[in-house]
Amino acid sequence: MVNLCYNYSWKHCLLHVMASEAQKEASSVTAPVVVRGNAGYLNPKRIRKSLTQLLSVCMMFVSGYMMYQSAGVIANSASPAVVVLSGSMEPAFQRGDILFLWNNERNVNIGDVVVYDTGSRTIPIVHRVVHEHHNANKQLLLTKGDNNERNDIGLYENGRIYLDRQRDITGGVVKGYVPKLGYITILLAENPKFKILFLGGMLLLHLMSGD
């Protein structure tokens, strides 16, 4: 202190000491370090991780589709599993029930529940066989919903009164079912907003589970 203030007045000495102390305090403060690489949105590792998660989601849907198609080949059915969309088969089947089909039998029996396609409707119909006629080459069927008052002749195209077993029964015969498990598909089909929320939520959960 004496050496520093030897040639100055006490006021200059005080100012000199205060400046020295301020300089020491400034030099002791560590400047904040901004790390951009790990936290930035364009970080290569983050991009690679996001792409990997997106690819795994796509693979999950592709795998499910391939399994469904494989089941169709085994069951010889265009739709090896269908969801009941209406109440026409109550009380046997309710809306939302998932039905499992088998289409490897040449003929079907009265009382069997079949899935058929009329050609004019985009959604197959699930109804019960109430009458049948057959010979060595062909089987003709008449169907009806358990909860309907009339048979299905009004649903057949081109004024036909019977279904052709080989041509029209594209789904096959119901061999088993799981109650209500497919109701989510009804909500997805009937509510577009719910479909967006559901798919977005599934994607978000999958991405979060990968963290």
Active site residues: 88, 127, 152
First-residue to last-residue Cα distance in the chain: 60
Q: Which residues contact 104 (CB under 8 A, 6 or more apart)?
A: 75, 76, 172
Strand partners, 116: 125
User: In angstroms, what is the C-alpha Rg of the chain?
Assistant: 37
Q: Which residues contact 85 (CB under 8 A, 6 or more apart)?
A: 95, 123, 186, 189
